[in-house]
Structure 1
């Protein structure tokens, strides 16, 4: 059994990035060990990881542009959401230009949504957390004006189906994202806030304390930033993962406080 790639990847990653770097190094080392017998070197493994991140990055913004155009025209709100996302990711210089170019390509009439999603599905095979985050970003774009146009819903359904999600799963993600949006708007502790805290966690107020904890742990496991980056999330999107994890934590804390849980 080969292990030197994992060993050195962990050590070097920890030196440069502490726990997150160690996890990423361990993952790259694992890929190296797995491919070493076939003569694939570390540079090729690293190149594959970077290529996966680049495809995730570009597909995200291209499909955002396509979703924004679904209702007939890209509105100021759509552009503001895309710009806000770039700001949250702290994109500057060439990276921001690439995101803007991908967004424009997605808006074009000849953009091939299905082909783009099929390529995206290949590079995220076995990484359902990345797929879910991608879909949630597209949901955020579609609901940027507070309403879901039928054409936008149709595109979201196409995205979900191409990436292996059914209608029920998409509806659940839509419900949770809407709850997350409202949770931000009503974070002063009123009744709506606690209702949306439950919805954000994907449960109801009839859930037992054990079910609340289980739902929280499941969501945190799915959205843990270090885990997502190790699976291929572009480093530029780390801040988005952090914000999602913070929202989950805030909802859980709200529910715990309401119930008097420890």
Structure 2
């Protein structure tokens, strides 16, 4: 049954008959591999699994192209906000993210632990996969190294690489999101500026000006990363302005 349920993750993320077919294929492989555990009871066990497994895998994918930039960190911060982590949980998530960046991090071991403890809980598995796709696309494009890392994570779950293309295609086309929820790209942008998604325009403008005053290339001397930081801040502010109409 676990394979069919993880197949449901693929179907939910992709949607339509393509998702159903990919889910069935993945489910067949996983059903042969292991016997499922029961669904996790309550929010806290799910959250712990997302912190320990989800953020560690995010760190691994963020590091895949050689460096972890501010955009990837902003995505991780956005997920901490979305999951409503308290200070202790945030520190744990940061530690796990850092662990995932290490060269000796075991993707197979991490995924095996997730599969052992997630059981039949679709919410955990679906959210965990969304976390990985979002950090891989943090800079607005998917590098070959990030794609390879994502495919490797999917393979450990028994999911086909074709699922990744379908999910990415949906994300680039706008995709679906729950009513009232800020789309993932904008969540990252709010995190870059350090303001909540429901912040007033005046607060957003103040945050933008404060960050630009701190990170403007003219004040950074010979720091080669200054231009990249300033561009990230400018791009985030522009997208929020366009989305909010101010």
CA-based RMSD: 2.7
Structure 1 gaps of 5+ residues are 1-44, 181-199, 202-243, 251-262
Where does residue 78 of structure 1 map in the other structure? Answer: 72
Say whether the 8 Å CA contact 2:49–2:118 is kept in structure 1: no
**Partners in 2 of 1:133 and 1:55 — Cα distance?**
11
**Partners in 2 of 1:61 and 1:138 — Cα distance?**
9
Runs of 4+ with deviation above 6 angstroms: none
Q: 1:60 aligns with which of 49, 54, 71?
A: 54
Which entry has the higher C-alpha Rg, 1 or 2? 1
The structure in which a higher percent of residues are helix is: 1
Structure with more contact order per residue of length (Cα contacts < 8 Å, sep ≥ 6) = 2
**Partners in 1 of 2:165 and 2:121 — Cα distance?**
20
Give the TM-score normalised by structure 1.
0.49
Give the TM-score normalised by structure 2.
0.52
Where does residue 91 of structure 2 map in the other structure? Answer: 97
**1:84 Cα deviation from its structure 2 partner:** 2.1
**Partners in 1 of 2:62 and 2:81 — Cα distance?**
18
**Partners in 1 of 2:84 and 2:116 — Cα distance?**
27
Say whether the 8 Å CA contact 1:139–1:177 is kept in structure 2: no
Q: How many residues align?
A: 144
Q: 1:108 aligns with which of 80, 102, 109?
A: 102
- Is 1:137 the counterpart of 2:131 in the alignment? yes
**Partners in 1 of 2:172 and 2:118 — Cα distance?**
25
**1:89 Cα deviation from its structure 2 partner:** 2.9
**Partners in 2 of 1:166 and 1:84 — Cα distance?**
27
